Structure 1
Amino acid sequence: MSQFSNNIKIKTETNQDRMSQISDYTHNVSLRLSQVLDEIGVNERIVLKRRRLRLLRETLFTIPYQLRTYNTSVYCFGSQTESTTTPGLQSDFDCLYSINNFNIITDWSEWEPGVKNLLMIQDETVSPGYCLLQHLRDDAPLPYNDVLNEDFYRDRRGRVLLKNTLINVAYEEGRVRHGPALSEQEVPGVYDLDIVFALPCKSWPVQANHWLDEQGVGGWPTEEMRRYCSSTGCFVVAVGNKGSGNRELEWRISTSLTERCLMFNLNITQVRCYVLMKMILKTFISSQYPESISSFMCKTVLLHCIANTQSNAWRENTLLTCLTLCLSTLYDCVLNEVCPHFIIPDNNLMAERFLPHIKPFILDTLQYVASSNGRALLEIDCDRLGLRLQMKNNGICVIDPQTIPTFISGQLFKDVALDIAHVNKMLLSETNNSFNIPAVLQLLSTCMFKHVYKYLDANQKQDKIAGSVTAQQLCKTLGSVLASSNIYHQGNISMETLTWLSFGLNSDVSSGKLKLASIFYCMEDTERTDMIVKDTEECYDLSVVEAVCACHNFEHQDKRSAFNRLSFQQNEEHVLVKHITAFCVIFLPCEINCCPYELQHEMFRSTQEDLAYRRKYDYWMDWAVVDSLPYLYFLQYKTCNSLRRHDDKKRALSNLVRAIDEEANLGHRETALNLLGQCMEQENRSTDALRCYLLSVQIRERNNAAKLHICILLNTLINH
């Protein structure tokens, strides 16, 4: 691949001369293009915010696996984490699950006793960028001679090799395999998700050793970056080379951590150049031939161009020239069908990639865009880039430049809030919906002390934040389980219980406070219940706060503009959780003594027939779960009724109806309708109650306590 590097150097040297003599036209178009990209969120503030929050998600994803003793780490890669995307590009979300029970070695000195050792083999029988994994003994640094099961294969040399079909055990209903990835697609309200299962290798791959010694024209990547990259090791993912005769035995070497490091060290012009390449790909090529050129190829071309160009060449006023350089380099790659992997150059990403009838179209398209002096960019509909650029050229400015960055900020923060709720749901699932309070307390205490504190004491800021928000969620449940035990045995709650509840009180705007209010309500302490409900209502700003539910996937509506604005303004986003988000209020079966009677029915929502319609992650259906806002008004209705404040009771009932009708992102609207129906029954409005239950069944036909309420109501009406 040395000829490829020489060609790039010649091209970039020629382009360097052009950059030093940039025309007024190119200068002006570049600046306007930079301004447009700034307005659609490709700017330094949003880039840093996106990376910061995506890395926080990475830690949040990892916590449940560590707390549940699965030796797995989760990494977030791709455009969403690199911040090289826009809303219009609709990039999917890439997660790599690193299964850490294996010790993959490149040298016998790295062998460890008592673990699953695998020797990475990179010889002449293996495709560039791939390897074989030989099974080793765990009691001595020697090869394993026995084929244990169908996951292993003895080759002609007598080596026992691990097959990459091992990933098949991870298949789940609703997921499709694309290469090494399992994909969840077209789930309403969430990004398409690509999950890659990988095995970690602490050593730097032998095939990439030469890269560590190379030096780019502009000193990029720097020596410090290379030193860091060499310490990250690599992953091996379960897919073989398409043209290989050993396809089931080969594992692809992934240098994703190194690539992420490189992308994090790009300047904003280089990031914008990559985004433009992806927009061009989406507009002109992928729409007709989606499998021809990948965004990873565009990234690889960009990295080669950066490494062979002086760093001062990448400026806002040279963006168009830089883009032209990348497109012409990509043209040469397609023409010669050679695109060397940036880290492992012997791995040609374009080998046997193009069908004969596709290649001329791609070449003509790239030539057209590269030679258009930016005019072809006016045809890009993605994020209305072409329209925005045309308006800039005509001196028109009618689009609010903060609209998209604030929208992106709100989406990023909502994603993090959903992750916090999802982590809590996964941890609570470990209780196996047990009514055994001591066993549940032991489990939650172990999670709290043994693992979460590990994150609180971590050196990395993101780890501390993730540990803190996870601990607050656990504290709510710990305190509530203790309260359930206290109420059952003593009729009141202990100071220890109040202490745990206080730690989780401000986990968000409302759920911690409403759990405390529920406890006092079940103790028949109406005055304190009323006081807490009032305080919660004052904190719950209806113009800002967003409901957050991670129990199931549903299509989320647009977030409030004030929510987006605050998300954009704040750089320490984790502090926003307690000010602008409202998590669901969750009661486990063992918390039944501090759950209002009307809500307890939700723990018994499923008939034997309904169980067949549950999915793998529907264990929450054995809990009582309700959105904060309708539950707030339900508790208010009940307390005002007990205190004989009839006007306040009517207001609470009206607010409950309004919340069910108007609150866009309720995850448990059917449960809110069930509570409203019971309130209507207490108001002797049987017809309205029945209407509520029927509406609830329309929302969730199966696993819905509304059917139980309908039976009870009809029985009451018939007998009276």
Structure 2
Amino acid sequence: MNNKEPILMTEVDNNEMYEQGKDGKVYLKSEFLQYPVDIVDEVHGPALNRMSTKRGIDEDYVFACYCSNLPKEAMDWIDRTKDKPWPKDPVRKRVIESGCFLVAVGHKQGKDLRTDFRMSTTLGERKLMFDMNISQLQCLVLMKMLIKTIVNKQYKDAIKSFYCKTALFFVTEQYGKDMFREDRILECTRKCLHWIYKSLVNGYNPHYMMSSLDMFEGRLDATLREKVGECINDIINNPILAILIIEFDEFGRRLYNSIRNSEHYISETQEIIRSNIGNFLYKAYVLSLKGPSLYDDPWNCDLEREIELNKAKLSRCEILHQQGDIFIQKETERYR
């Protein structure tokens, strides 16, 4: 805008702040708001990363222009979340009122990076994060540790921390916050990882609040997506093994030692262990039934009915033991 009256500028001389486009309009240069990099500083996207010697911590600085409204690209999010389990209306209202930033960095495949800006909904995402419970935050931390230990060690920086947070948002939107409990953290983490895996398979990773934006664009080609997808799928299929090799703070080793030395772990009787194994094998292999639901309360059941059901299962098990192949006979024997 002209600084003397509220009309758009139409002409500009050689200026480090402005540039006249081919369309005749005058644009603010994004590079004017970018930090000059010296020996001790690093730039990541729009952020300058600097080590604060006084505070002894890493700090990020970002020049940004604030806009009091969400961009039109986020209107789909407003409509999409109306009837979803999460976020609830009060949180949605705070997110909508939070506005957005314009930050001085363009798209990786942009035609003119000097005048390209990026929209950032970081304030809205911050409001969403403050609505998370402790199990959701633990799930996010576990997911990031798995990604950094296993995936990004093989394929450097292929999966950003931002993708993990986005997956958590989408999964919470779909299932609600109540699913995230301390006794379900592992299963919830797998659901979040599966979201990332599906994005890799589909070749499209939508931004949570601006779903028309593909966060993979200009970053991961089809070959790399396939390799990274296989790696994440291995974690999903072998979560316990994956957790036990987490290197951060020797997390995996300490967890293994804790389990190995646990009184509960070594005090279970052989009968209980065999019973648990048999029940799992029965459900997984013999009857081809799904295992216990993620949402079932194991203590809230009709005991007498369960006994009758187990008698029926055992009767069918006897038949399968007589008629099945060697594999079925072994599993039914274990179940019996």
**What TM-score results when the alignment is normalised by the length of structure 2?**
0.72
Out of 332, 336, 341, which is 2:198 matched to?
332
2:105–2:113 contact (8 Å) kept in structure 1 = yes
1:657-700 Cα deviation digits (max 9, x unpaired): xxxxxxxxxxxxxxxxxxxxxxxxxxxxxxxxxxxxxxxxxxxx
- Unaligned stretches of 5+ in structure 2? 264-336
Aligned residue type for 2:225: K
Distance in 1 (alpha carbons) for counterparts of 2:18 and 2:224: 39
1:158-183 Cα deviation digits (max 9, x unpaired): 11011101124655552122221212
Residue 396 of structure 1 corresponds to 262
Residue 246 of structure 1 corresponds to 112
Out of 147, 166, 169, which is 1:300 matched to?
166
Q: Where in structure 2 are the equivalents of 1:687-702 lying within 5 Å?
A: none
**Does 1:147 find its partner at 2:20?**
no
Aligned residue type for 2:24: G
Aligned residue type for 1:174: V
1:235–1:253 contact (8 Å) kept in structure 2 = yes
1:115-141 Cα deviation digits (max 9, x unpaired): xxxxxxxxxxxxxxxxxxxxx123433
Aligned residue type for 1:142: I
Change (3 A) 1:359 1:274: same
Q: 1:317 deviation in Å?
A: 1.4
2:107–2:113 contact (8 Å) kept in structure 1 = yes
Residue 555 of structure 1 corresponds to none
Change (3 A) 1:233 1:285: same
Change (3 A) 1:216 1:367: farther
**Does 1:138 find its partner at 2:7?**
no
1:182–1:196 contact (8 Å) kept in structure 2 = yes
Q: 1:309 deviation in Å?
A: 0.8
Residue 376 of structure 1 corresponds to 242
Distance in 2 (alpha carbons) for counterparts of 1:288 and 1:197: 33
1:179-235 Cα deviation digits (max 9, x unpaired): 212122596983333221111112222221222233266531111112112222111
1:218–1:311 contact (8 Å) kept in structure 2 = no
Residue 158 of structure 2 aligns to a residue whose secondary structure is coil
**What is the number of equivalent residue pairs in this alignment?**
262
Aligned residue type for 2:66: P
Aligned residue type for 2:48: L
Distance in 2 (alpha carbons) for counterparts of 1:317 and 1:159: 58
Aligned residue type for 2:12: V
Distance in 2 (alpha carbons) for counterparts of 1:168 and 1:182: 9
1:240–1:250 contact (8 Å) kept in structure 2 = yes
% same residue: 31
1:337–1:353 contact (8 Å) kept in structure 2 = no
Aligned residue type for 1:178: H
Residue 374 of structure 1 aligns to a residue whose secondary structure is helix
Larger C-alpha radius of gyration, 1 or 2? Answer: 1
Distance in 2 (alpha carbons) for counterparts of 1:192 and 1:300: 23
Q: Where in structure 2 are the equivalents of 1:589-608 lying within 5 Å?
A: none
Distance in 2 (alpha carbons) for counterparts of 1:139 and 1:206: 30
Q: Where in structure 2 are the equivalents of 1:160-559 lying within 5 Å?
A: 160-168=26-34, 171=37, 174-184=40-50, 190-215=56-81, 218-355=84-221, 358-396=224-262
Q: 1:251 deviation in Å?
A: 0.6
Bigger Cα displacement from structure 2, 164-173 vs 278-287: 164-173
Residue 358 of structure 1 aligns to a residue whose secondary structure is helix
**What TM-score results when the alignment is normalised by the length of structure 1?**
0.35
Change (3 A) 1:296 1:335: same
1:181–1:196 contact (8 Å) kept in structure 2 = yes
Q: Give RMSD over aligned pairs.
A: 2.3
Distance in 1 (alpha carbons) for counterparts of 2:5 and 2:85: 44
Distance in 2 (alpha carbons) for counterparts of 1:168 and 1:225: 33
Distance in 2 (alpha carbons) for counterparts of 1:357 and 1:194: 33
Distance in 1 (alpha carbons) for counterparts of 2:35 and 2:133: 41
1:238–1:251 contact (8 Å) kept in structure 2 = yes
Change (3 A) 1:356 1:312: closer
Change (3 A) 1:230 1:156: same
Distance in 2 (alpha carbons) for counterparts of 1:378 and 1:234: 40
Quick check: which one's helix share is greater? Answer: 1
Distance in 2 (alpha carbons) for counterparts of 1:295 and 1:180: 16
Q: 1:236 deviation in Å?
A: 0.9
Aligned residue type for 1:292: A
